[in-house]
Structure 1
Amino acid sequence: MRAVVQKSFGGPEVLEIVETERPEPLAAEVLVRVHASAVNPVDVAVRSGAYPLLGEPVFGVGWDISGVVEEAGPGARFKVGDEVYGMPFFPRAATGYADYVAAPSRQLARKPASLDHVHAAALPLAALTAWQGLVDAANVSAGDRVLIHRAAGGVGHLAVQIAKARGAHVIALASAPKHDFVRGLGADEVIDYRTTDFTEAVTDVDVVFDSNSQGERSLNVLKPGGTLVSIMEHGDRELAAKVEAAGYRFAGISVEPDYASLEAIAELVDAGRIRPYVSETFPLAEAGKAHEVVGSGRAQGKIVLTVV
């Protein structure tokens, strides 16, 4: 089978396609014929060495997959032919940019029936990050005021929709050219972070969802007892201490596989409450070009590799 691997840290050019052995599923695992795999900022950081999550190369990057079960090990949740999606093994290597991935069946869920594989692959890591922050950690509910940083990005555009699906009043930060896009996601207020200091424009927020390392500044907009959800500074103990000393809650989120949440997300997708936005696709052989786009930091929504 084909798989994208890297033999050194560096720019997008270090990604190369190799021929390798197809993995064999173990008990309770399935072999997925990958149809599409999303590219996330963490993929870029791992590839460059900025975030040495997987140790030293050689390794394959990529986690988000959508595809069809080709083999099922004893005790697996799925059968051959089932369409599934997920983010297996994170933060360990999954080598998602490949023709096949073998993964524990409980780290996958049935693909949303209303989505093709490209759009389903765009969901897992970003949607789980938003879900585990907004739902599991902050318990966002009807009437809550929620501020979302980088609301037009891969995680942000799904966070807006998840918060709205929970009945929240959503305040979104995005650059002016992306305001119409973010409003279309359901945001109630949109602020241009480039021209407006959000700490002066926003008050009485119940939950801040921070994906932009703005945790300490975000405390200025929280109401007493409010929650700061941070996906960039999740391991910052000093920040956590400051947040709690100021009378707020701190929730540091490092996303993990979770089939139950993937099932809940799929239900909202099929109900028309969440829709992933894919701005561009690339064939597997052009994984490096996809990394260039994601690495620019200007991508709207998600970038996806087509495998089949």
Structure 2
Amino acid sequence: MTLPKTMRAMVTMGHGDLDQMVLHEDWPCPEPAAGEVLIRVGACGLNNTDVNTRSGWYSKTVTDATTGGAFEDVGEDDPTWGGAPITFPRIQGADVCGEIVAVGEGVNAARIGERVITDGWLRDVDASTDMNKTGYFGSERDGGFAEYTTTLAASALAITSELSDAELATFSCSYSTAEGMLTRAQVTSADTVLVPGASGGVGGALVQLAKRRGARVIAMASEAKHTEVLQLGPDMILPRASENLRATLGDEKITVVADIVGGPYWPTLIDVLERGGRYTCSGAIAGPMVELDLRTFYLRDLTFTGSTVITPEVMPNLVRYIENGEIKPALAASYPLVQLREAQAAFIAKEHTGNIVVTP
């Protein structure tokens, strides 16, 4: 096929508010380098990483909750997930579902025509498990908020599914983040997992993937979203911030807290963990600064794990779960690419339960 020279793309021009995302109708269409593939984007998911990178929230100079708006002081040295500067202009978007339409040198041409989803983690081909040699799609290189994108051939995973492109674009970031958290916390069928923020993309994925492991799952979400969250299969659902969480839990014994919320309620979550319990975290949308009583930490024999860079097998495993129907998409809304600003505004305001995607 003849590939276009230009394409429509939503380009982030710098750190700041939503106006930093600018639509270009004639952005240069990328070409796959050696070891890469060119994907025609069918849909691309929207995640906290996109919002936080644009706003510069990852910088340690920022101590507020995620707002999606501009911050007065964003450190120049650490404004991204990896604690390093980002190059602008940048096309963001890590969760692509699409079709391979061209390949670079060294990639089997038989891959042209494959339907794929992307693994957001960009790994060194000679050291795939070295977390210090990773980048992120839509951060260290251009991503999927465009009609076409390139990525490493190894990061484009073939998938066979009757789900739509929009539905498949909900999985990569949210579900891999959730599976990474559960893997770090070594969750099994013997656990009872508490999931704050269960109405969001990662929270909903945590519910499904913890249930897949056989664990008992207790979800927390605003009461207006309980009906949607219950469709994901938790054993119990509680209000977002119960005044007396221990009493509300009754006889439930929480062995794992899988948290992406943080904020002022954080000490309450830690206090309900059983002796020997585990806390795993991959976000802090309600605020990164929390208060910890170290006596609770060591006297209760707790284990804390942070989870960002997933292991290489997580995404192939997720593809298998999807193809086997073991997990389902939680697609809340789909917006056209030209309305990416509106999509992010809705995402930030938590107007929807589940994941939001954009389509070219």
TM-score of the pair, normalised by structure 1: 0.89
- Summarize the Cα distance change of 1:237–1:157 in structure 2 as closer, same or farther, 3 Å threshold: closer
Partner residue of 1:36? 43
Between the aligned partners of 1:112 and 1:131, the Cα distance in structure 2 is 21
Aligned with 2:276 (options 225, 244, 247):
225
1:286 is the counterpart of 2:333: no
Q: List alignment gaps of at least 5 residues for structure 1.
A: none
286, 302, 305: which one aligns with 1:251: 305
Identify the range of structure 1 (42-51 vs 296-305) with the bigger mean alpha-carbon deviation. 42-51
Instruction: Give the Cα separation in 2 of the matches to 1:107 and 1:156.
Output: 24
- Name the structure 2 match of 1:129: 177
Q: Percent identity?
A: 29
Give 1:300 shift: 0.9
Question: Residues 167 and 47 of structure 1: is their aligned pair in 2 closer, same or farther, counting only changes over 3 Å?
Answer: same
- Show structure 2 runs of 5+ residues with no match: 1-6, 59-78, 123-135
In the alignment, is the contact (CA less than 8 A) between 1:3 and 1:95 conserved in 2? Answer: no
Cα distance in 2 for residues equivalent to 1:83 and 1:261: 19
Displacement after TM superposition at 1:271 (Å): 2.5
> Is 1:86 the counterpart of 2:93 in the alignment?
no
Q: Name the Cα RMSD after superposition.
A: 2.6
Q: Does 1:302 align with 2:355?
A: yes
1:20 and 1:240 mapped to 2: Cα distance? 52
Counterpart for residue 26 of structure 1? 33
Task: Give 2:306's aligned amino acid.
Answer: G
**Are 1:70 and 2:101 counterparts?**
yes
Is 1:269 the counterpart of 2:322 in the alignment? yes
1:210 maps to what in 2?
A: 259
> Per-residue deviation at 1:266?
2.2
Matching residue within 128, 153, 171 for 2:200: 153
Question: Which residue type is aligned with residue 253 of structure 2?
Answer: D
Pick which of 208-217 and 192-201 moved more.
Answer: 192-201
Q: How many residues end up aligned between the 2 structures?
A: 305
Alpha-carbon offset, residue 83 of structure 1:
0.6
Please state if 1:9 is matched with 2:60.
Answer: no
Is the Cα–Cα contact under 8 Å of residues 119 and 157 in structure 2 kept in the other structure? no
Q: How many Å separate the matches in 2 of 1:7 and 1:257? A: 31
Structure 1 residue ranges (4+ consecutive) displaced by more than 4 angstroms after TM superposition: 235-244
Tell whether 2:92 aligns with 1:61.
yes
3-state secondary structure, aligned to 1:20: strand
Counterpart position of 2:230: 183
Cα distance change on mapping 1:217 and 1:204 into 2, 3 Å: same
Greater share of residues in helix: 1
Are the counterparts in 2 of residues 44 and 294 from structure 1 also a CA contact under 8 Å?
Answer: no
